[in-house]
Amino acid sequence: MPVSAETVPPADRIRARRLTAPSKAAASGQPALQALGICKAYGNRRVLENLSLTVAAGEAVAIIGENGAGKSTLMRICAGLTTPDAGSVGVSGRVGYCPQEPGLFDLLSADEHLEMFAPALGLSRQQAIREGHGLLAEFAFPLAQRAQCRHLSGGSRQKLNLALALLGGARILLLDEPYQGFDHGAYVSFWEHVARWKGEGIGVVVVTHLLADQALVDRVVELEIACGPAAEEQ
């Protein structure tokens, strides 16, 4: 049985709670992501305490919570970019991570970003350009401009940020407020893509502050702000 925030024994304080019922995918499917007992503190500031999250293949989960609740920290840990103080993360297949702040290079164009990501994803430059252009076109990115990133609008930068996360066929997508600055059409297109990814068996985690998004996912997990110093300093 998959372990979720609610089925972990109540050791210490568990700060995630499920707001909606588990989906059928979560109940029966192979986990695309399984984070167990994650703890993280920065200095004496506890951020995540014994947090567990399982996402099944083909399941979409929204992570919500106040500013500073630890959503981005959790995404970075699940993406393997931040080491937790305790706990483990298991993924089946490649992880696609869309950071909250686009990690783009101002002087490079979209194509140059796609080419730069290609080797890490096992793609040729031509494959990365072809696949990337397909993704960017679906989000109505201004491909014809061939502009350096510093000249792109905020929404266009975010579209490139998202496309880079999708490149190379990820099996689990960790999308941290992925559509900041998107216009209405791009936002609608994003959620159409989520439905398609789910159909392809991809697990999707979306960090969001938008109430409306919560109706579009299988499950909502809320992180609550931890209080008190880190355990070793109590």
What is the binding site for ligand ATP (CB under 6 A)? Answer: 42, 47, 65, 67-73, 100
User: Does the footprint of Mg ion cover residue 100 (CB under 5 A)?
Assistant: yes
The contacts of residue 72 (CB under 8 Å, 6+ apart) are 99, 100, 176, 207
Q: What is the chain's Cα-based Rg?
A: 18
Instruction: Give Cα 101 to chain centroid, integer Å.
Output: 12
Closer by beta carbon to Mg ion, 177 or else 218: 177
Could you say whether residue 72 binds Mg ion (CB under 5 A)? yes
How near is the Cβ of 36 to Mg ion at its closest, in Å?
22
Q: Does 208 bind Mg ion (CB under 5 A)?
A: no
Residue ranges of alpha helices (H) inside the chain are 24-28, 71-78, 110-117, 125-138, 154-166, 184-199
Amino acid at 10: P
> Based on CB atoms, which residue is closest to ligand ATP, 69 or 170?
69
The identity of residue 148, as a single letter, is Q
List C-alpha distances in Å: 44 to 13, 40, 135, 147, 210. 16, 10, 42, 44, 31
Residue with Cβ nearer Mg ion (47 or 135): 47
The tokens of 51 are what?
């947090």
Binder of residue 65, out of Mg ion, ligand ATP, none (CB less than 5 to 8 A by kind): ligand ATP
Residue with tokens 């970075």, as numbered in its chain: 76
Contact yes or no for 97/174 (Cβ under 8 A): yes
* Residues 51, 80 contacting (CB under 8 angstroms): no
Residue nearest to Mg ion (CB): 72
Whose Cβ is closer to ligand ATP: residue 54's or residue 73's? 73
Q: Which does 70 bind (CB under 5 to 8 A by kind): Mg ion, ligand ATP, none?
A: ligand ATP
Which residue, 33 or 57, is less far from Mg ion as judged by CB?
Answer: 33
CA 82-228-39 angle, to 5 degrees, is 30
102 binds, among Mg ion, ligand ATP, none (CB under 5 to 8 A by kind): none
CB of 132 to ligand ATP, least distance (A): 26
| Contact call for residue 82 and Mg ion (CB under 5 A) | no
Least CB distance from residue 69 to ligand ATP, whole Å?
A: 4
Q: Is 180 in the site for Mg ion (CB under 5 A)?
A: no
Choose the one of ligand ATP, Mg ion, none that binds residue 47, judging by a C-beta under 5 to 8 angstroms depending on kind. Answer: ligand ATP
CB of 71 or CB of 198, closer to ligand ATP: 71
Q: Name the residues that contact Mg ion, by CB under 5 A.
A: 71-72, 100
